[in-house]
Amino acid sequence: MSDPSIDRVTYWRTQIRRTAILLGVWFIVGFVMSIFLAEPLNSFSFGGVPFGFWMAQQGSIFVFISLILIYTLASNQLDREAGVEETDDTTSAAGTGH
C-alpha cells in the first residue's frame, strides 16, 4: 500500500458525492427521458427512429454502461489516492497463506 494523500472522511465524502451525481444522471436518463419525456422526445429522430423510443430502448443502456465505466475508473483513481487500491499480490496462488 502506498502512503495515502487523502483521509477517510474525504474519501467517503467524495465517493458519496460521486455516487449521488451518477444516480442523478441515471434517474434523468432512465426515468425522465425514457418514460416521462418519451412522447415529446419522439418529435426528434435519431437514425430514422423516434428519439424517445431510441432512448428507452438503446440510449439508456449506453448511458448506464458509461456510468459504470465512469464510476469504476474514478473509484480506482480515488483508491490510488487514498492508498487502498487492490494489487496483484492480493490474488496470490490458491492455497498459499491458508
Asked if 2 contacts 80 with a C-beta cutoff of 8 angstroms, the reply is: yes
Residue range(s) defining the domain that contains residue 77: 8-84
In a domain, 78, yes or no: yes
**Average pLDDT rounded to a whole number, residues 44-61:** 92
In a domain, 3, yes or no: no
* pLDDT tens-digit series, residues 71-96: 999 999 999 999 888 877 655 555 55
Q: What is the signed CA dihedral for 10, 14, 16, 17, rounded to 10 degrees?
A: 130
**Average pLDDT rounded to a whole number, residues 14-31:** 96
In a domain, 94, yes or no: no
Look at residue 50 in the predicted model and tell me its pLDDT: 95
- The predicted model scores a pTM of 0.78
In a domain, 92, yes or no: no
Q: Which residue has the higher pLDDT, 46 or 29?
A: 29
**Number of structural domains, the chain?**
1
* pLDDT tens-digit series, residues 55-71: 999 999 999 999 999 99
Distance CA 61, CA 26 (A): 10
In a domain, 58, yes or no: yes
In a domain, 1, yes or no: no
